[in-house]
Amino acid sequence: MSTNENEIGSNPEALDASSEPLQQEPLHEPAADNTHRPIRSYVIRAGRYTDAQKVAISEQWDNYVVEYEPRLFSTHELFGNDNPLTVEIGFGMGDSLLEMAIANPQRNFLGIEVHKPGVGKLLHGVAESGLTNVKVFCHDAIDILAHCIGEGCIDTLLIFFPDPWHKKRHNKRRLVQTEFITGLLPLLADAGRIHLATDWEPYAEHMVEAMEAVQGMTNANGAGQFWPVPDRPGTKFERRGIRLGHGVWDLLYTKS
């Protein structure tokens, strides 16, 4: 984790910018100097903190946030046990992750998020609930997945309501791509699951197309089918979509 990120834990008021995941390294676009830089599937946004988030970051950072190092972290090292591991990429404000962790004390939950106010909100909830089955990486998920999680470690991978990148010319920035998911397969345990959700129908169709092209994953609800009654908490994005008259589409795939 960078020096600035370490300073966040001790001085949250020093922060005034944050970002939303993720960066997808296999894709590249030309830079001004004719080199190539990774295409990002997130944008940098200013971040505002509530007082509770500031306090949580200051007081709970060291208890729950794992500093990024380019090395493997075992489940036992992180949690003190070998219970099944659920990983959520881009947990936003952490509401769903917190609810799942409270309801499933026999499972470990690893959240990955670079939006620091969201991390602060989750830390507040985790500390208030006295949970011991939650850890957080406040770092680019691509680095975490590439260097920190061992083969076969993830029982369930969650990607809920990622940025849909509505404009066609930006579709390549979408996180859920066949190449990206294929690269994650070694990290999944036998019969490991990937659960996706979106409230943008074109992205839902894109997800189906991308996932059906992944060799070694099977749609739990039948080829090309969505999950009609998903097993997950509702999210603020879902509620927002419903208010706007949008549908919500979930997909569940199992490693075969």
Q: Which positions are catalytic?
A: 163
**At CA 20, angle to CA 15 and CA 22, rounded to 5?**
130
Query: What distance in Å separates the CA atoms of residue 172 and residue 137, rounded to the nearest whole number?
Result: 25
Alpha-carbon torsion angle 179, 180, 186, 192, nearest 10 = -110
Q: Closest by alpha carbon to 180, among 157, 161, 200? A: 157
- Alpha carbon 86 to its chain's center: 10
> Which residues are 250's β-sheet partners?
197
Torsions phi, psi of 154, nearest 5? -90, 120
Q: Closest by alpha carbon to 239, among 32, 69, 93? A: 93
